[in-house]
């Protein structure tokens, strides 16, 4: 968003509570890299990392826990860079399947911004995927490796769809980024700079083009004037000093939990229930993607510890609704890699496959480099009871109220998870797995955060309009997963970035009349 | 960590029981020096481990008239099972850190056929794979639902 708006020569100030990361400090640069996935400063939960840049999140009332990261680059520092688009049907869920709501925009609206985002993020992939309208991507696909080929053969055996994953990973040198060298541990930051985290894609260009980025500045509240327009933001700097940054336009992009938290913390006489919340929907309709994981054990080594963790192949055989399955909507299956020696041992322990004592080494040898994991990413439908509120007691290190998550899995999601586990196991077996182990829902999978400031045309049923502008506050925009109307069955980042570029484009084209 | 260091040589003996020698040239986890890795990471679990070790020592002397490290391997295994059953969590609280430390130990990593090094900066070669496998998928239609 900031990058796109920079060409207007407006003065743009971005406030980010985290700092710049140094890729030379990422775990993959040292021995002990594997265990850092599970504990310490690069682990998934903000509650366990112990970094000042993070804020705590009370997720005890949810079977799915929040995973995020707070720094320049945000959660893309840790993300897997699996980069699919939504399908055209995802924008028309109500019309097609009679559930949830249609989006006020469609695939065609976002298509040019998906294309632009592919160039900016450096997306690798293969043209010709029959599950999508035609698309061109700037980089060749990530290597299949032995694991991808093995699983691809399994899908072929069943006659199911599969395709190399669209991946925001530089498979060749790209715009100053070095090519991926298949390190494996993408989820603790990419030391090579090949993964398209936004600290190496958008931010450097935005800053070069005049955007001012203030790091270690945590926004406490968005202020309003007596006409109900946003007038700026109060933030706390690294030394704990409070400042008020005045602004003519405020854009919020704190993700699906951070955004409702900030809006709910921005209470005033005119907006006693939080900013832009006349509909009462700020924080409601929280969607994750409920994840299942199936791990298969093979007889042959698969070299699964090499290559981007989350980017290999995807199957969308069960993406679209088939009511005979007993649920609506569907899911993607994504093959994962990255099981190094430590992860193999810990997985063996948790799945009771690895005893201590005399049988230990034989059991380990049967597991080492012979497991393949598949995650199944289920579409979540919006439900008002699933929500982000402010915790009455919990605060961050600056004393700002922290978010609380209330979330239940719906009947539809539970049925979809069951189906996904069964079909995932079938696919692994078709590829040669002699045993499979399912886990559903996957507890740490609260990494896709959507729906909490939803987009729509009716101010009573949505928080922002079709161009991301708050219905209640004409100079306030939201551009992150919060605005999603439905979640689709794919990872959201490509879409939320495309939405940001689309909203920025709207702002640039309508500067004169923007607040009418 | 517990207030007092965990007693030796019994702690390392226990680690050797939990992960025994892999081959004549690769001794068990205790002999590889994993105690120094595991102990500082035990946190609050340290006191449970200390009392489990105390019970192990007492039981070894009671039933075999010898200290635990001096017993034959099979006798050690039986005692660890007994004490583990009586002190829930005694063994389990060790395993996470033990497995983590053991499977990143250079000698163990090399025994698995890998180079002992961090993934960066050398990385790994990876085959592009046979994209011809996709021919049948490419030929399919109707996967992208009409809207
Ligand atoms: C482990 C993991 C794996 C993932 N894998 C994938 C994947 O493969 N594909 C995919 O599409 N998505 C993936 N995701 C999700 C992806 O990271 C997010 O969708 C994406 O980063 C969202 O972008 P965002 O800018 O909206 O939010 P974030 O990236 O979370 O950034 C929000 C930023 O706002 C800052 N902020 C929040 N509140 C305040 C405040 N009050 N004041 C100042 N600053 C504030 C935060 O510090 C943060 O830097 C993954 C996420 C995780 C954690
Ligand atoms: S596998 Fe590629 S993208 Fe992932 S961390 Fe390694 S170099 Fe980066």
C-alpha A234: how far from chain center: 27
**Cross-chain CB nearest to B137 (options A107, A161, A368):** A161
Inter-axis angle of helices A107-121 and A493-509, to 10 degrees?
Answer: 100
Does the distance separating the beta carbons of A144 and B129 come in below 8 Å? yes
B86 belongs to a structural domain: yes
Cα(A116)–Cα(A112) distance, integer angstroms: 6
B31 belongs to a structural domain: yes
How far are the Cα atoms of A107, A124, A136, A276, A297 from residue A338, in angstroms, in the given order?
Answer: 33, 19, 28, 42, 15
C-alpha B122: how far from chain center: 27
Best probe of the A interface among B15, B134, B136, B146, by most A CBs < 10 A, is B134
Dump the DSSP string for A152-165: HHHHHHHT---EEP
Query: Which residue in chain B has the smallest CA separation from A31?
Result: B118
- Regarding the beta carbon of A452 and ligand 1, being less than 6 Å apart is answered no
Half-sphere exposure of A22 (CA within 13 A, CB side): 3
B13 belongs to a structural domain: yes
* pTM, rounded to two decimals: 0.96
Which ligand lies nearest the alpha carbon of A338?
2
Q: What is the mean pLDDT of chain A?
A: 97
Q: DSSP code of A300? A: S
Cα(A403)–Cα(A257) distance, integer angstroms: 7
Query: Which residue in chain B has the smallest CA separation from A140?
Result: B128
Tokens 């400063």 sit at which residue?
Answer: A41
Using alpha carbons, select from A167, A80, A113, A97 the residue that is nearest to residue A500.
A113
In the prediction, which pLDDT does B141 show?
86
**Cross-chain CB nearest to B126 (options A28, A307, A320):** A307
- Regarding the beta carbon of A487 and ligand 1, being less than 6 Å apart is answered no
pLDDT tens-digit map of A69-112: 999 999 999 999 999 999 999 999 999 999 999 999 999 999 99
Q: DSSP code of A355? A: -
CB-based contact, A35 to chain B, within 8 Å: yes
Query: Which residues are within 8 A (CB) of B25 and not within 5 positions of it... i.e. 6 or more apart?
Result: none
Using alpha carbons, select from A163, A172, A137, A183 the residue that is nearest to residue A33.
A183
Beta bridge partners of A293: A375, A439
Does the distance separating the beta carbons of A162 and B145 come in below 8 Å? no
In the prediction, which pLDDT does A38 show?
84
Cα(B84)–Cα(A399) distance, integer angstroms: 44
Tokens 């007092």 sit at which residue?
Answer: B4
Position A418 pLDDT exceeds 90: yes
Best probe of the A interface among B117, B126, B140, by most A CBs < 10 A, is B126
Position A346 pLDDT exceeds 50: yes
B33, B39 contact by CB (below 8 A)? no
Using alpha carbons, select from B4, B1, B17 the residue that is nearest to residue B95.
B17
A315, A489 contact by CB (below 8 A)? no
Structural domain including B24 reads 8-120
B84 belongs to a structural domain: yes
Cα(A270)–Cα(A94) distance, integer angstroms: 34
Position A116 pLDDT exceeds 80: yes
ipTM value of the model?
Answer: 0.95
Atom of ligand 2 nearest to the CA of A183: 6
Position B2 pLDDT exceeds 50: no
pLDDT tens-digit map of A231-271: 999 999 999 999 999 999 999 999 999 999 999 999 999 99
Query: Which residues are within 8 A (CB) of A206 and not within 5 positions of it... i.e. 6 or more apart?
Result: A2, A3, A6, A213
In the prediction, which pLDDT does A110 show?
98
Q: How far is the CA of A317 from the centre of ligand 2 (A)?
A: 27
Distance of residue B99 Cα from the nearest chain A Cα, in angstroms: 6
Q: How far is the CA of A169 from the centre of ligand 1 (A)?
A: 17
Give, for ligand 2, the residue of A140, A185, A195 to mutate: max count of ligand atoms closer than 8 Å to Cβ.
Answer: A195
CB contacts, 8 Å: B147 with chain A: 88-89, 91-92, 95-96, 106-107
Per the structure, the count of domains in chain B is: 1
Atom of ligand 1 nearest to the CA of A18: 47
Using alpha carbons, select from B1, A329, B42 the residue that is nearest to residue B15.
B42
Percent of chain A at pLDDT above 90? 97
CB contacts, 8 Å: B99 with chain A: 342, 345-346, 349, 354
Q: How far is the CA of A350 from the centre of ligand 1 (A)?
A: 28
CB contacts, 8 Å: B112 with chain A: 341, 368
B2 belongs to a structural domain: no
Cα(A337)–Cα(A131) distance, integer angstroms: 23
Best probe of the A interface among B20, B119, B122, B138, by most A CBs < 10 A, is B119
Coil, strand, or helix at residue A57? Answer: coil
Query: Which residues are within 8 A (CB) of A296 and not within 5 positions of it... i.e. 6 or more apart?
Result: A371, A372, A373, A374, A425, A428, A429, A431, A433, A435, A436
In the prediction, which pLDDT does B3 show?
57
Domains of chain A plus CATH, in order, are: 2-338+370-513 (3.50.50.60)
Which ligand lies nearest the alpha carbon of A70?
1
Beta bridge partners of A371: A297
CB contacts, 8 Å: A368 with chain B: 112
**CA A13, A18, A19 angle in degrees (round to 5)?**
85
In the prediction, which pLDDT does B4 show?
66
* A262-290 core/surface letters (b: 16 or more CB in 10 A; e: else): bbbbbeeeebeebbbbbbebbbbbbbbbb
In the prediction, which pLDDT does A195 show?
98
pLDDT tens-digit map of B66-94: 999 999 999 999 999 999 999 988 999 99
Q: How far is the CA of B127 from the centre of ligand 2 (A)?
A: 15
**CA A445, A446, A449 angle in degrees (round to 5)?**
135
Atom of ligand 2 nearest to the CA of A182: 1
Tokens 């090094």 sit at which residue?
Answer: B117
Does the distance separating the beta carbons of B128 and A144 come in below 8 Å? yes
Atom of ligand 2 nearest to the CA of A28: 5
Q: How far is the CA of A200 from the centre of ligand 2 (A)?
A: 13
Using alpha carbons, select from A420, A478, A463 the residue that is nearest to residue A285.
A463
Beta strands at A230-236 and A13-15: parallel, antiparallel or unpaired: unpaired
Three-state secondary structure string covering A194-244? CECCCCCCHHHHHHHCCCEEECCCEEEEEEECCCCCEEEEEEECCCCCEEE
Position B1 pLDDT exceeds 60: no
pLDDT tens-digit map of A285-327: 999 999 999 999 999 999 999 999 999 999 999 999 999 999 9
How far are the Cα atoms of B65, B73, B85 from residue B62, in angstroms, in the given order?
Answer: 6, 17, 18
Cα(B58)–Cα(B82) distance, integer angstroms: 12
- Regarding the beta carbon of A383 and ligand 1, being less than 6 Å apart is answered no
In the prediction, which pLDDT does B45 show?
83
B41 belongs to a structural domain: yes
**Cross-chain CB nearest to B120 (options A87, A183, A307):** A183
Q: DSSP code of A336? A: E
pLDDT tens-digit map of A184-208: 889 999 999 999 999 999 999 999 9
In the prediction, which pLDDT does A460 show?
98
Beta bridge partners of A313: A164
B34 belongs to a structural domain: yes
Which ligand lies nearest the alpha carbon of A71?
1
Using alpha carbons, select from A229, A207, A270 the residue that is nearest to residue A477.
A229
A407, A63 contact by CB (below 8 A)? yes
Does the distance separating the beta carbons of B143 and A161 come in below 8 Å? yes
Cα(A220)–Cα(A390) distance, integer angstroms: 13
CB atoms within 10 A of CB A422: 13
Best probe of the A interface among B43, B80, B123, by most A CBs < 10 A, is B123
Cis? peptide before A89, omega within 30° of 0: no
Does the distance separating the beta carbons of A192 and B121 come in below 8 Å? yes
Burial of B132 (0-12, 13-18, 19+ CB in 10 A): exposed
CB-based contact, A422 to chain B, within 8 Å: no
Tokens 């702002």 sit at which residue?
Answer: A507
Position A39 pLDDT exceeds 90: no
Percent of chain A at pLDDT above 70? 100
- Token pair in block for residue A396: 């961050």
Query: Which residue in chain B has the smallest CA separation from A306?
Result: B124
Atom of ligand 2 nearest to the CA of A308: 1
Distance of residue A392 Cα from the nearest chain B Cα, in angstroms: 29
Cα(B80)–Cα(B66) distance, integer angstroms: 15
Percent of chain B at pLDDT above 90? 88
Reported confidence tier of residue B7, pLDDT bands at 50, 70, 90? very high
Cα(A215)–Cα(A199) distance, integer angstroms: 12
Tokens 């006659």 sit at which residue?
Answer: A159
């Amino acid at each position: 968003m900031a990058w796109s708006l920079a060409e207007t020569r407006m003065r743009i100030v971005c406030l980010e509570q985290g700092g710049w990361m140094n890729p030379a400090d990422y775990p993959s640069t040292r021995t002990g890299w594997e265990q850092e996935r599970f504990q310490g400063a690069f682990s998934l939960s903000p509650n366990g990392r112990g970094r000042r840049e993070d804020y705590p999140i009370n997720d005890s009332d949810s079977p799915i826990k929040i995973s995020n990261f707070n720094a320049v680059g945000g959660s893309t520092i840790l993300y897997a860079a699996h980069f699919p688009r939504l399908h055209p049907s995802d924008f028309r869920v109500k019309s097609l399947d009679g559930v949830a709501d249609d989006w006020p925009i469609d695939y065609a609206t976002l298509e040019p911004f998906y294309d632009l985002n592919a160039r900016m993020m450096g997306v690798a992939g293969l043209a010709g995927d029959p599950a999508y309208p035609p698309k061109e991507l700037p980089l060749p696909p990530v290597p299949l490796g032995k694991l991808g080929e093995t699983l691809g053969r399994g899908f072929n055996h069943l006659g199911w769809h599969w395709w190399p994953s669209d991946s925001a990973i530089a498979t060749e040198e790209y715009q100053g980024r070095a090519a991926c060298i298949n390190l494996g541990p993408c989820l603790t930051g990419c030391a090579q700079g090949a993964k398209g985290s936004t600290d190496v894609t958008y931010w450097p260009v935005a800053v070069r083009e005049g955007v001012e980025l203030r790091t270690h500045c945590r926004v406490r509240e968005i202020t309003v004037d007596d006409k109900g327009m946003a007038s700026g933001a109060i933030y706390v700097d690294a030394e704990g000093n409070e400042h008020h940054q005045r602004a003519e336009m405020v854009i919020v992009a704190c993700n699906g939990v951070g955004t409702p938290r900030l809006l709910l913390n921005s209470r005033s006489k005119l907006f006693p229930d939080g900013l832009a919340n006349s509909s009462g929907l700020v924080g409601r309709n929280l969607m994750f993607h409920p994840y299942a994981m199936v791990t298969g054990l093979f007889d042959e080594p698969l070299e699964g510890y090499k290559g981007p963790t989350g980017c290999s192949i995807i199957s969308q055989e069960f993406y679209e609704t088939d009511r005979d399955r007993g649920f609506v909507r569907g899911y993607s299956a994504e093959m994962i890699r990255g099981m190094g020696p430590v992860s193999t041992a810990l997985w063996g322990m948790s799945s009771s496959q690895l005893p201590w004592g005399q049988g230990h080494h034989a059991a380990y040898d049967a597991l080492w480099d012979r497991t393949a994991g598949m995650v199944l990413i289920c579409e979540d439908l919006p439900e008002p009871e699933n929500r982000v509120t402010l915790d009455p007691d919990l605060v961050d290190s600056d004393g700002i109220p922290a978010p609380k998550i209330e979330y239940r899995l719906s009947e539809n999601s539970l049925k979809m998870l069951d189906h996904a586990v069964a079909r995932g196991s079938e696919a692994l077996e078709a590829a040669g797995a002699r045993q499979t182990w399912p886990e559903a829902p996957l507890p740490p999978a609260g990494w896709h955060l959507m729906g909490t400031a939803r987009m729509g045309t009716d101010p009573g049923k949505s928080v922002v309009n079709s161009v991301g502008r708050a219905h209640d506050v004409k100079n306030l925009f939201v551009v992150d997963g919060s605005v999603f109307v439905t979640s689709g069955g794919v990872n959201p980042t490509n879409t939320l970035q495309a939405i940001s570029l689309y909203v920025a484009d709207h702002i640039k084209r309508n500067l004169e009349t923007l607040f009418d | 960590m517990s207030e007092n260091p965990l007693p030796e040589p019994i702690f390392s003996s226990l680690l050797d029981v939990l992960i025994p020698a892999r081959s004549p040239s690769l001794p068990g986890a205790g002999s590889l020096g994993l105690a120094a890795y595991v102990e500082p990471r035990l946190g609050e679990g340290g006191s449970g481990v200390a009392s489990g070790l105390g019970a192990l020592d007492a039981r070894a002397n009671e039933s075999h008239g010898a200290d635990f490290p001096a017993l034959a391997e099979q006798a050690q295994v039986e005692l660890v099972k007994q004490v583990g059953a009586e002190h829930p969590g005694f063994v389990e609280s060790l395993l996470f850190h033990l497995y983590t430390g053991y499977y990143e130990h250079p000698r163990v990593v090399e025994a698995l056929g890998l180079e002992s090094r961090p993934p960066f900066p050398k990385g790994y070669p990876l085959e592009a794979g046979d994209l011809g496998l996709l021919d049948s998928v490419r030929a399919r239609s109707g996967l992208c639902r009409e809207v």
